[in-house]
Structure 1
Amino acid sequence: MPAWRFLCMIGPCRSGPRFGRRRGSSIPSSTSIEGSPHHPRRLHGAGGWGPRGGPSCTMTTVYMVVIVCTVCIVYMVCMTESTTERLSPEPVEDENRANFADAYRPHTFKKVFGQDSVVACLSGLIARGRIGRSILLHGAVGSGKTTLARIYARALNCEAPDPRASPCYACEACGRLGEKPIKEFEEYNVSRRGGGREDVERFLSTHDRPVHGAKYRILFFDEAHALTREACDLLLLPVESPQHAIRFIFATTEAERLRRALRSRLLDLLIRPLPVDRAIEFLRQAAEKIGIAHEPGALALLAGLREGYPRDLLLGLERVWERNTPRLTVAQVRAAFDVDQTEVLVAYFTALADGDPDQQAEIVFGWQEQATDKIRWIQAFLLHVYHNEILARRLVVDGVIEAVPENLRAGIVRGFCARLGLADARDLAPFWRQMMAFWPVPETATDETALGLRLTLFHQLVNAGVEGEAVAAERARPTDAAAAIAQASTIAEASRGFGPPPLPRPGARVVADKAGFLTPADVRRIVNSASFLVQEHGLLFNTAFAITPAALGVSGTASAVAAITAFRDELAAQARAWGGGLRAGITVLERDHRGVIGRIVAHLHAPNPLDPADADGARRTEAWVKAWREGAGRLGGDAVEFAPAPVGERAALRFHWRRSLDLCAGLDERVEAFDPRIAEHRSLLELLRVRARSARPVLDHPLVATSASLSDEQVAQACRNRLEPLSAYDDEAWEELTTGWELEEFQVRRDTRAKREGRLAEIRQQFGEATPEARAEIAQTVGGWPSDPRRRPRRWRRERAGEPWP
């Protein structure tokens, strides 16, 4: 019964004997006690006593109403709960859905995925005695900066960290898992609370007191890039000389906006995105925990579309997951993110394989993507197919391409093989490399007109593949306008550059190549690349670096190699920002007791017009390297060693060869080569005058890498029209390796190239472009040029074992 109806049934109260004075009352109706609560003057007319001597029904009604209301409220609550249990609808899916990013936020170092170097650094500080450091965590949004800060802060005050240096979540300092707030951990969001000096000073003064019941107090500045210059200056002294066991953690997405003086006082930890294969594995593990079945390729596609950071990946998974479907499909991911790249790429490359220019143009010009994105997807598809389908080498280049069914990618490769008359997919590798080389990075023009021109030339290259890959590639390679005109009229014969190595002489000690170690072929490539840089470009290597990722806290081969590659790429990007560039370089991987080491020699152009004393940019490069490695120096090692070339031609030449040959020091010293001076075999390292370094294997990664300007393709391009380079290494002219003869050969090559291109231009002008007469005359002319580079006329000569060389 509703409460209001029950109250209505009671009705208004009236005076009567039933509600009169209680029997045996000691206060009769006639009694008048001044001041008594029952005095007539106090009660009469005020709802006290009625004229008949009994209490007023108004007061009694109040008592009854209170009792009745209490009973009714209890009754209604019980009925409501019962009704809710019986009648409430099923929870709405969106309301019942878990927030994946929060639900699967890691609470220990062990559960942090893919940030091995950062975790090793922070957990190492805990393991060595809960060492409190002031730290800068920087990376993209959702990379895990706040999560790592909280784990480290909790572990600093944990009374018994677990064997992996994570908080135990059992002691008083830790509290229960997920308990908030963290003891002695104060968060300050700079963007919301203010980044000015007064705001920060107020926050600091609030917490500038002795720490009780904990080892440290941690002040966490999130969104630290919003700190003003004055606020950063205010923080310098507290960070450098903290009082009361206070430590600071700064997190930001824009570390470059922090004042350098403040940043130099912090342990600098960069949180990098997960590589594609690791991002796929992260999603696989998350899907398994949540119980999401998935179609092959669905997670790979999702990983390719997100940024490679755990929170972003989890939010993406939550976005595409539909609880009422049996499993996550590729189609669901495509629909959720409006993706059609895979379908377009398959159709486009099928048209390329078929040699159908009309279909190629229709597909690619109808593809509604930005020019830069089209280029990137084409490059990614080429690279992925090259490694996985052609070389049968498992490599996840891009998650979106990985999501393309394997049978479709294999069908495209079969189509190319059928059109080119190839029996095996591996035979397609040279032609495929030409297609990849067509798209240079990063000079590719990105406006629609330039893209249309490049696509047209690209199709010409692909469709003419049956005519011979080298000639087609030369004809289709785009250049600037002036070079294109000259090239169109001067290309007559392609080149293989240095070509295959000479046959070994009999009598040498047989030392089998071992996986993970330098080989004689690697040494030949290093020496010839260093020589070619001078012969072709007249340049010397002017910088050398040694990168030791272990000093950054990086463990594991893959992570170490990634750190070395990141340093090289960031250095090149910085040089471009200065108006220069990394024009040439050689990178060699080694391993010693510390782990993987990357050794780099490079010609770095870093102009510094604002400082005449640093015209070559050596000082600014050194400053950049120092800033890059500042955080690592506090871990007991130097992450990067930098050596610039000295001033002076002779000194620069010695630097070039000493640093280049030092890259070969990891070769097995038992490997021999022939010494014509004594007509015997000797240790190759002795002939190179290099002291051997004890090395350990680096598996699953190429040990030697050259920049694009020193690649086999670029060397061959520069040596067309019978301008093959000389090689003192191949000619066993050991005593001439480091004499600098290449500087003189540079002049000879330049003069010879000009004369030959001039002669070919005359022939084409006389007989017309691409006429039979012109081709015949060119063939006769080129046939008269010596194919052996040692027979080219030159003004200089050296010696080899007492004989003129070359």
Structure 2
Amino acid sequence: MSSLALYRRYRPESFAEVIGQEHVTDPLQQALRNNRVNHAYLFSGPRGCGKTTSARILARCLNCEQGPTPTPCGECQSCQDLARNGPGSIDVIEIDAASHGGVDDARELREKAFFGPASSRYKIYIIDEAHMVTSAGFNALLKVVEEPPEHLKFIFATTEPEKVIGTIRSRTHHYPFRLVPPGTLRDYLGEVCGHENIPVEEGVLPLVVRAGQGSVRDSMSVMDQLLAGAREEGVTYAMATSLLGYTDGSLLDSVVEAFATGDGAAAFEVVDRIIEGGNDPRRFVADLLERLRDLVILAAVPDATETGLIDAPADVLERMQAQAGIFGAAELSRAADLVNAGLTEMRGATSPRLQLELICARVMLPAAYGDERSVMARLDRLERGVNFSGGGGAPAMAYVPGPEAHGTAAAAPVPPGGGVAAARAAVRASGPPTGPAPTGPAPSGPAPSGPAPSGPAPSGPAPSGPAPSGPAAGGAPGFGAAPGQPGQDTTPAPAYDAASAQAAPAPTGPAPGDTGSAQPQPSQAPQPPQASATPPP
């Protein structure tokens, strides 16, 4: 088998083989069909996304004997020279501006550029890492780029187009390249593994795509490393996680389930396994944040697997759907925020293990925080009936109502030696009670609307029989109670007491037989009728 690197062995030879850059390859092919090719191009984008490869394909299309054509024939001398394993063409010159970006290099290029091509249609300069050219070098190239001869073409490739001076950039056709989508890159890697005839487990390709971060060349380099170390059974998931440094999925499942069930012992056991296994705590937190991100998307979009929002094997997706179901929405969002903040704090931390344990404690103890997210997380746990075995803080103190919450107010103090009359006055000063209303029926007769009778009070002794036991209405003094005494008293009236009669206040009406010109008294509030002195039959 060839020792050539995997990304060089499978380098595209036509625009149709370039993946994930249709927004660039389609306009270029159409320009070749219309024979509207510009004299200078600027290809920009992240590393490993196909800039230099597309520049070589464009040069191949321009110098093909059947061209300019969007599909080079691959049979002519120019196409064979520019093939992936070809020797190269003397008329297609690649310059690394990182080492040839000075003004002297630019002047030498300018002097050679006016000579015609040796055997091809065009003389093409591919200037890679163009942002490394100095300002003096760009100024030396400015005139030849602005007004080149008919046989001359320039293709600038750079990862930082803003560092290319504006006078050069304005004279080119700028095509921005992008990172390749994960799904497209995973399918491409699967085809490459099929051509290599090496079996690869299902969970390996997502790890390779994640390690490549959208760069085709980086992903191919990682895949080449895994294929080089594969045994007879091929590339296994355990081998990939160990070699790439990612966290095993079982550890992520354990800690997520511990968060969901409030099992603090299980969560800190996972932390201990990570440290004892020699894994990087920062990598574990990053992987945990990635898992929580997938759970948040699954909770918000149940069909995320069908729409391609989550890229994971079928068994992992099944476990993640179950985990998203046992989490509450607020609790899941809070956990993701805490892990994200903890990952930021771990950069430069002197004790990554301590930071990791603090992250787990913050997620496990929502009762320790009084913010809105923590309160909502606690409500989610209560709704799901999760036991706070991880420690939920001290129980809240029970509410003890004060005396103002009861229906009756505090009684006024009674002066010593005041007797019954003083006690009644104290009751009047404290106000009527606000206890529960009586359950008996209220009297059906209408209340008197006129003023109270002003005749003389009876001077005979009060009867000693029991007073009527009918209930009072609305908490007012009952019909069977003495004037001024609190109502709802169904016990027999006490016997006549001479001392209380002497201490009772004198009536305010005119004396008997007084027909003088007394001043009229203001109208008084209606009072309930006095109880009959005759005992009920």
How high is the TM-score relative to the length of structure 1? 0.41
The answer on 1:458 being equivalent to 2:363 is yes
| Higher share of residues assigned helix | 1
Residues 403, 248 of structure 1: alpha-carbon distance in 2 compared, 3 angstrom cutoff: farther
Residues 397, 445 of structure 1: alpha-carbon distance in 2 compared, 3 angstrom cutoff: farther
Alignment match, 1:409: 320
Written as runs of structure 1 = structure 2, the 5 A alignment for 1:336-735 is 336-364=243-271, 367=274, 373-388=283-298, 391-394=302-305, 405-413=316-324, 416=326, 428-429=328-329, 431-436=331-336, 445-447=345-347, 448=349, 455-461=360-366, 471-473=375-377
CA distance in 1, matches of 2:400, 2:345: 33
CA distance in 1, matches of 2:80, 2:264: 68
The answer on 1:226 being equivalent to 2:114 is no
Alignment-mate amino acid for residue 292 of structure 2 = L
3-state DSSP of counterpart to 1:237 = helix
Contact 1:445 1:451 (8 Å CA) reproduced: no
CA deviations on 1:769-804 (whole Å, 9 max, x unpaired) are 96544999xxxxxxxxxxxxxxxxxxxxxxxxxxxx
Residues 297, 450 of structure 1: alpha-carbon distance in 2 compared, 3 angstrom cutoff: closer
Residues 348, 403 of structure 1: alpha-carbon distance in 2 compared, 3 angstrom cutoff: farther
Contact 1:217 1:245 (8 Å CA) reproduced: yes
3-state DSSP of counterpart to 2:362 = helix
CA distance in 1, matches of 2:182, 2:207: 10
Contact 2:73 2:79 (8 Å CA) reproduced: yes
Residues 775, 129 of structure 1: alpha-carbon distance in 2 compared, 3 angstrom cutoff: farther
Alignment match, 1:239: 145
Residues 455, 266 of structure 1: alpha-carbon distance in 2 compared, 3 angstrom cutoff: farther
Q: Computing the radius of gyration over CA atoms, which structure comes out larger, 1 or 2?
A: 2
Give the superposition deviation at 1:161.
4.8
Alignment match, 2:523: none
3-state DSSP of counterpart to 1:219 = strand
CA deviations on 1:606-642 (whole Å, 9 max, x unpaired) are xxxxxxxxxxxxxxxxxxxxxxxxxxxxxxxxxxxxx
Give the superposition deviation at 1:224.
1.9
Contact 2:59 2:92 (8 Å CA) reproduced: yes
Give the superposition deviation at 1:450.
7.2
Alignment match, 1:713: none
CA distance in 1, matches of 2:143, 2:68: 34
CA deviations on 1:135-193 (whole Å, 9 max, x unpaired) are 22233333222211100111122243598x1212234543464433236211112234x
Residues 365, 257 of structure 1: alpha-carbon distance in 2 compared, 3 angstrom cutoff: farther
CA distance in 1, matches of 2:314, 2:145: 48
CA distance in 2, matches of 1:146, 1:242: 22
CA deviations on 1:397-438 (whole Å, 9 max, x unpaired) are 676x65973444345346x26xxxxxxxxxx55653454455
| Higher share of residues assigned strand | 1
Residues 470, 458 of structure 1: alpha-carbon distance in 2 compared, 3 angstrom cutoff: closer
Alignment-mate amino acid for residue 243 of structure 2 = A
Give the superposition deviation at 1:327.
2.9
Alignment match, 1:295: 201
Alignment-mate amino acid for residue 191 of structure 2 = Q
**Of residues 91, 102, 108 in structure 1, which corresponds to 2:14?**
108
Alignment-mate amino acid for residue 242 of structure 2 = A
Give the superposition deviation at 1:276.
2.0
3-state DSSP of counterpart to 2:74 = coil
Give the superposition deviation at 1:470.
7.8
3-state DSSP of counterpart to 1:221 = strand
Alignment-mate amino acid for residue 356 of structure 1 = D
Residues 774, 342 of structure 1: alpha-carbon distance in 2 compared, 3 angstrom cutoff: farther
CA deviations on 1:86-132 (whole Å, 9 max, x unpaired) are xxxxxxxxx75453212111100000111111212322221221513
CA deviations on 1:723-749 (whole Å, 9 max, x unpaired) are xxxxxxxxxxxxxxxxxxxxxxxxxxx
Contact 1:355 1:462 (8 Å CA) reproduced: no
The answer on 1:329 being equivalent to 2:236 is yes
The answer on 1:170 being equivalent to 2:55 is no
3-state DSSP of counterpart to 1:137 = strand
Residues 372, 265 of structure 1: alpha-carbon distance in 2 compared, 3 angstrom cutoff: farther
| Number of residue pairs the alignment of both structures matches | 373
Alignment-mate amino acid for residue 138 of structure 2 = C
3-state DSSP of counterpart to 1:293 = coil
CA distance in 2, matches of 1:324, 1:444: 38
Alignment match, 1:181: 88
CA distance in 1, matches of 2:22, 2:184: 12
CA distance in 2, matches of 1:362, 1:339: 19
How high is the TM-score relative to the length of structure 2? 0.60
Residues 771, 189 of structure 1: alpha-carbon distance in 2 compared, 3 angstrom cutoff: same
CA deviations on 1:12-51 (whole Å, 9 max, x unpaired) are xxxxxxxxxxxxxxxxxxxxxxxxxxxxxxxxxxxxxxxx
CA distance in 1, matches of 2:248, 2:401: 43
Residues 443, 286 of structure 1: alpha-carbon distance in 2 compared, 3 angstrom cutoff: closer
Give the superposition deviation at 1:469.
7.8
Residues 241, 411 of structure 1: alpha-carbon distance in 2 compared, 3 angstrom cutoff: same
Contact 2:342 2:359 (8 Å CA) reproduced: no
Residues 197, 348 of structure 1: alpha-carbon distance in 2 compared, 3 angstrom cutoff: same
Residues 454, 298 of structure 1: alpha-carbon distance in 2 compared, 3 angstrom cutoff: closer
Alignment-mate amino acid for residue 355 of structure 1 = G
Contact 1:154 1:183 (8 Å CA) reproduced: no
Alignment match, 1:196: 102
Contact 1:101 1:315 (8 Å CA) reproduced: yes
CA distance in 2, matches of 1:303, 1:462: 39
Contact 2:247 2:284 (8 Å CA) reproduced: no
Written as runs of structure 1 = structure 2, the 5 A alignment for 1:150-169 is 150-161=56-67, 165-169=70-74
Residues 278, 461 of structure 1: alpha-carbon distance in 2 compared, 3 angstrom cutoff: farther
CA distance in 1, matches of 2:97, 2:183: 35
Residues 248, 338 of structure 1: alpha-carbon distance in 2 compared, 3 angstrom cutoff: same
Alignment match, 1:687: none
Runs (5+) with no aligned partner, structure 1: 1-94, 418-427, 477-768, 777-806
CA distance in 2, matches of 1:372, 1:265: 46
Alignment-mate amino acid for residue 249 of structure 1 = I
Residues 331, 371 of structure 1: alpha-carbon distance in 2 compared, 3 angstrom cutoff: closer
Alignment match, 1:511: none
CA distance in 2, matches of 1:328, 1:312: 18
The answer on 1:120 being equivalent to 2:31 is no
Alignment-mate amino acid for residue 323 of structure 2 = I
